């Protein structure tokens, strides 16, 4: 659900990580207290957007495209690195990588930032979309609006789309070699990414030559916590097989009563038709499909992405 284009970077001791309006928030977990990193941009008492990044284990950095669009619209927003990611603490006990615990983490962040229902919105992209759905199912009483960006409400359905639609369109010989490397547990082999970048990433993750990918995207993916990502997403980039493999909340979307925007993209790893059905399932669902976009449509169909997002957020009043 995100790109495996780099390794893990430890931010420990970087003083500049906490400057420029950023704030560390202490959270409680079953293993004690840790700190997560947030940063506020803008000031709007009626509209505050918390950004939930993908991965799991990526960072807030690929959201930096928002700086070019949300401030001009007067939208206050918060960068946030989830526990185990980016500037936040990096505990090593894998029992912490549990979806319900991540939901409680988001709620603690909301409380610490003083985000209340009259202004509080959440945008979750990719894995962040899973987290946003789960948060809304438990804590929607605190939400003014919700955005599910580039994520389906079912991992089995996501896997079926990869198996039945995306893979048959790939070169059979190349796909076979990728699958052989995965079966052998040899995904660290440079050949794996050499094959995946042109056949998958440049077609379905961000539609431009990899050498021309925006710097914030490359930086974010180079900082990914690979252990966390693999544990929850699984080792394959062509589907999910980790701890999230059985996650399915499509039927429960009827319980989310807050206004919700579902963002799809024609070339995404996520099925646009399924995402349209998600919007219909949501009592106050809205749907937009970006014709030139892929998984990171905030870059490859940028103007439409932010036009749609800003219109939805500003329309909540």
**3-class secondary structure for 17-61?**
HHCCCEEEEEEEECCEEEEEEEEEECCCCCCEEEEECCCCCCCHH
- The residues facing 147 across adjacent strands are 123, 261
Q: In what order do the strands lie in the sheet with 76-81?
A: 22-29, 32-41, 76-81, 48-52, 120-125, 145-149, 260-265, 285-290
Say if CB 95 and CB 62 are below 8 A apart: no
Strand intervals (E) in the chain:
22-29, 32-41, 48-52, 76-81, 120-125, 145-149, 260-265, 285-290
pTM for the predicted model, two decimal places: 0.93
The answer to whether the bond into 56 is cis (omega within 30° of 0) is: yes
pLDDT 10s per residue in the chain (317 long)?
A: 545 444 322 333 333 333 467 999 999 999 999 999 999 999 999 999 999 999 999 999 999 999 999 999 999 999 999 999 999 999 999 999 999 999 999 999 999 999 999 999 999 999 999 999 999 999 999 999 999 999 999 999 999 999 999 999 999 999 999 999 999 989 889 999 999 999 999 999 999 999 999 999 999 999 999 999 999 999 888 999 999 999 999 999 999 999 999 999 999 999 999 999 999 999 999 999 999 999 999 999 999 999 999 999 999 98
Closest CA to 260 of 181, 173, 100, 146: 146
Give the catalytic positions in this structure: 126, 268, 295
Tally the domains of the chain: 1
By residue count, the chain amounts to: 317
Range(s) of the domain holding residue 10? 1-317
Give the torsion through C-alpha atoms of 103, 104, 109, 111, to 10 deg. 120
For tokens 């319980």, what's the residue?
255
Whole-number pLDDT of residue 286: 98
CATH number for the domain that contains residue 187: 3.40.50.1820
**How many Cα atoms within 13 Å fall on the side-chain side of residue 141?**
2
């Amino acid at each position: 659900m995100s790109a495996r284009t780099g390794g893990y970077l430890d931010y420990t001791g970087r003083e500049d990580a906490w400057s420029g309006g950023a704030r560390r928030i202490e959270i409680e977990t079953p293993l004690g207290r840790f700190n997560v990193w947030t940063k506020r941009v803008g000031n709007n008492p009626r509209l505050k957007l918390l950004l939930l990044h993908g991965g799991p284990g990526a960072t807030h950095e690929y959201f930096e495209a928002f700086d070019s669009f949300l401030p001009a619209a007067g939208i206050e927003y918060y960068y946030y690195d989830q526990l185990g990611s980016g500037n936040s603490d990096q505990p090593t006990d894998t029992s912490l990588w549990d979806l319900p615990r991540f939901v409680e983490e988001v709620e603690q962040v909301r409380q610490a930032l003083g985000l209340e229902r009259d202004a509080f919105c959440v945008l979750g992209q990719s894995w962040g979309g899973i987290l946003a759905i789960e948060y809304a199912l438990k804590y929607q009483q605190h939400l003014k609006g919700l955005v599910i960006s580039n994520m389906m409400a079912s991992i089995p359905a996501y896997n079926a789309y990869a198996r039945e639609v995306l893979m048959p369109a790939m070169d059979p010989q190349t796909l076979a070699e990728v699958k052989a490397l995965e079966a052998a547990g040899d995904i660290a082999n440079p050949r794996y990414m050499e094959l995946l970048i042109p056949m998958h990433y440049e077609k379905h993750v961000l539609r431009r030559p990899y050498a021309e990918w925006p710097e914030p995207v490359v930086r974010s993916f180079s900082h990914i916590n690979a252990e966390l990502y693999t544990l929850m997403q699984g080792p394959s980039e062509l589907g999910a097989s980790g701890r999230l493999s059985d996650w399915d909340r499509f039927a429960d979307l009827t319980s989310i009563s807050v206004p919700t925007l579902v963002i799809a993209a024609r070339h995404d790893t996520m099925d646009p038709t399924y995402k349209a059905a998600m919007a219909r399932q949501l009592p106050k669902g809205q749907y937009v499909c970006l014709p030139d976009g892929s998984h990171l449509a905030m870059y490859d169909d940028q103007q439409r992405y932010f036009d749609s997002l800003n219109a939805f957020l500003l329309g909540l009043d």
